[in-house]
Structure 1
Amino acid sequence: MEMILQPWPWYVSGPLIALIMFLLIFMGKKFGMSSNLQTLCTMCGADRKADYFKFNWREQRWNLIVILGAAIGGFIAINFLTADPAVDINPQTVTTLNELGFESSGKAYLPDEIYSLEALTDWKALSILIVGGFLIGFGARWAGGCTSGHAIFGLSDLQLPSLIAVVGFFIGGLMMIHLLFPLIF
């Protein structure tokens, strides 16, 4: 008997995420992926160079397990629980992306034109990754957290700044896709 693999439905995964957020709020913990980078930098001695990194990183060790869990969970999901690694996106979007030069659209999880090892030798793809990484890092620091911290934890904790940040993330994403993305490609 062949097992049919598909994503967990929202009514299973959503309540599980809500349960984890409730437990974190109950225990007085804050969740966010960008805070893990801050913790890692502090562990490596960044606190000797910048006051931003001066905090007791040992109190945040629990959050580093989130990175490990995300990596292991992603590996298990893609290698053992996914029948087709391609993202199921609208055929019109696939056509538009193909016209922009993304031949792997609808066939791969991430576009090979940007995220393959060969793309690291292409100045345009490498520039996009470097500039994008800088902007994400700058934005996460300026907003006081990343998309996961604000959208998952901050909204669960009913934080108005998180709502404002999430609205800003969506507006920025829409501007990128509809205005800048066609100009870049």
Structure 2
Amino acid sequence: MIEQLFPNGSAHYLGGGLLLGVAVAGIFVATGLVAGMSTVFSSSWSWFSRLPFFAQERFTGSRQWRLVMAVGLVLGALLAMLTVGGGVPVVTGVSWWQLALGGFIGGFGARLANGCTSGHGICGMGSLQLPSLLAVLIFLATAMITANLVSALGGA
């Protein structure tokens, strides 16, 4: 059954998860701050936007290392594409408006939940916070319902 779920093997998923967990836990232990991607996104925008939401101390006070983290994610994806992916970018058949709508819904959900899956799932659950457990359960249930709905409507 594992082979059906992971036809390309599971070792690279395990390795990536361990590296991500160690990195995020290290940031949490060193700074006491959660390294969730929704906060990285918001703090990165604090460099460019003067809107009151992005001017909050929680974003402006940590934006230097969070911007470095965001750049590292982009460069890591580029490095993976150049090495493992053979230099060929992944192309999707999803239209631009569907990607934009999905990004908006995901961003809205992360704001509504006061964090994203990496913040709640790694740091929040790792520090045994009940709200994070509930958020992750809701994230997973929503993802399962959405995947089944898309499949029922003929999507891939």
- Give the TM-score taking structure 1 as reference length: 0.65
Which entry has the higher C-alpha Rg, 1 or 2? Answer: 1
Q: Kindly indicate whether the alpha-carbon contact (under 8 Å) linking 2:43 and 2:62 is maintained by their aligned counterparts in 1.
A: no
| Structure 2 counterparts to residues 29-178 of structure 1, below 5 A | 29-47=33-51, 50=52, 52-56=53-57, 57-82=60-85, 109=90, 112-114=92-94, 125-178=95-148
Q: Kindly indicate whether the alpha-carbon contact (under 8 Å) linking 1:33 and 1:146 is maintained by their aligned counterparts in 2.
A: yes
Any unmatched runs of 5+ in structure 2? 1-8
Deviations 1:122-149 (A, max 9, x none): xxx2332222121111101000011222
Q: Kindly indicate whether the alpha-carbon contact (under 8 Å) linking 1:21 and 1:156 is maintained by their aligned counterparts in 2.
A: no
Structure 1 runs of 4+ with >6 Å offset: none
> Could you say what secondary structure the match of 1:43 adopts?
coil
Aligned in 2, Cα 1:182/1:69: closer, same or farther, shift over 3 Å? same
User: Which letter maps to 1:168?
Assistant: I
Q: CA RMSD in A?
A: 2.8
Deviations 1:100-138 (A, max 9, x none): xxxxxxxx955x321xxxxxxxxxx23322221211111
Aligned in 2, Cα 1:83/1:65: closer, same or farther, shift over 3 Å? same
The share of aligned pairs that are identical, in percent, is: 28
Moved more, 166-175 or 74-83: 74-83
Distance in 2, Cα, partners of 1:15 & 1:179: 31
Aligned in 2, Cα 1:74/1:158: closer, same or farther, shift over 3 Å? same
Residue 64 (structure 1) shift: 1.4
Aligned in 2, Cα 1:130/1:18: closer, same or farther, shift over 3 Å? closer
Residue 83 (structure 1) shift: 6.2
Residue 66 (structure 1) shift: 1.5
Moved more, 146-155 or 168-177: 146-155
Deviations 1:17-57 (A, max 9, x none): 3332332222212111111221133222333xx3x323231
> Could you say what secondary structure the match of 2:139 adopts?
helix
Counterpart check, 1:22 vs 2:25: yes
Q: Kindly indicate whether the alpha-carbon contact (under 8 Å) linking 2:34 and 2:123 is maintained by their aligned counterparts in 1.
A: yes
- Give the TM-score taking structure 2 as reference length: 0.75
Distance in 1, Cα, partners of 2:16 & 2:49: 37
